[in-house]
């Protein structure tokens, strides 16, 4: 028990040192708490929904298209987990900050490229943007993100089938987060 507390303390110190340049709301405890809040349901969805979809995709590829490509599966799983946890990055865009209000196009660009935009904001290469409250936590944002993933899938995989699979896994990751936050309610 003592070793666990000591290990957690060392990990906390390591991540606190690493995130010391981040805004005050991005503490290790906050990031860990958000991760733990969404982790269990994301794993549940992965095992019970994503794995059957992956198997269906593989069988259809082998039987109908007479090919087997592992890359859509690998990138699809990565985008599922990225989409499931990326949504909380909207907290970096303070709706009350005295900054420039983001236009509709800027909000879409921020949604699609959030980690890159945040990097440039934190390195002070671009000015922070004023975003609506919890802008990523909306079903419209999920639809925009999924359409973007479909286009990216077409550019990367060159087939509509693999692009659809890629976008579906991203949409399911996004929806997983929205269900956990009770924005999408399943009865």
Structure confidence by residue, pLDDT tens digits, 115-167:
999 888 878 888 878 888 888 999 999 999 999 999 999 999 999 999 999 99
Q: Which helix (H) or strand (E) holds 51?
A: helix 51-63
Report the chain's mean pLDDT, rounded to a whole number. Answer: 85
CA within 13 Å, CB half, 86:
26
3-class secondary structure, 182: coil
Tell which residue, 183, 186, 177, 185, has the closest CA to residue 41: 177
Other Cβ atoms less than 10 A from the Cβ of 54: the count is 18
Phi then psi dihedrals of residue 130, to 5 deg: -90, 115
Low-confidence ranges of the chain (pLDDT < 70): 1-28, 94-99
pLDDT at 56: 93
Which phi and psi angles does 76 have, rounded to 5°?
Answer: -65, -45
Chain-centre distance of CA 112, in angstroms? 10
Q: What is the pLDDT of residue 25?
A: 57
């Amino acid at each position: 028990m003592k070793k666990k507390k000591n290990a957690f303390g060392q990990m906390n110190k390591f991540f606190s040192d690493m995130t010391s340049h981040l805004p005050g709301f991005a503490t290790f405890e906050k990031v860990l708490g958000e991760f733990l809040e969404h982790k269990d349901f994301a794993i549940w969805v992965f095992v019970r929904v994503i794995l059957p979809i992956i198997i269906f995709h593989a069988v259809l590829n082998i039987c109908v298209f007479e090919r087997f490509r592992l890359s859509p599966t690998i990138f699809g799983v990565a985008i599922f987990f990225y989409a499931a946890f990326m949504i909380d990055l909207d907290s970096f865009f303070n709706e009350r900050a005295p900054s420039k209000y983001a236009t509709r196009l800027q909000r879409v660009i921020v949604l699609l490229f959030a980690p890159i935009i945040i990097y440039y904001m934190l390195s002070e290469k671009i000015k922070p943007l004023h975003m609506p409250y919890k802008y990523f936590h909306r079903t419209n944002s999920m639809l925009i993100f999924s359409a973007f993933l479909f286009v990216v899938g077409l550019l990367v995989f060159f087939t509509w089938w693999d692009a659809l699979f890629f976008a579906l896994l991203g949409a399911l990751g996004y929806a997983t987060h929205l269900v956990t936050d009770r924005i999408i309610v399943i009865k």
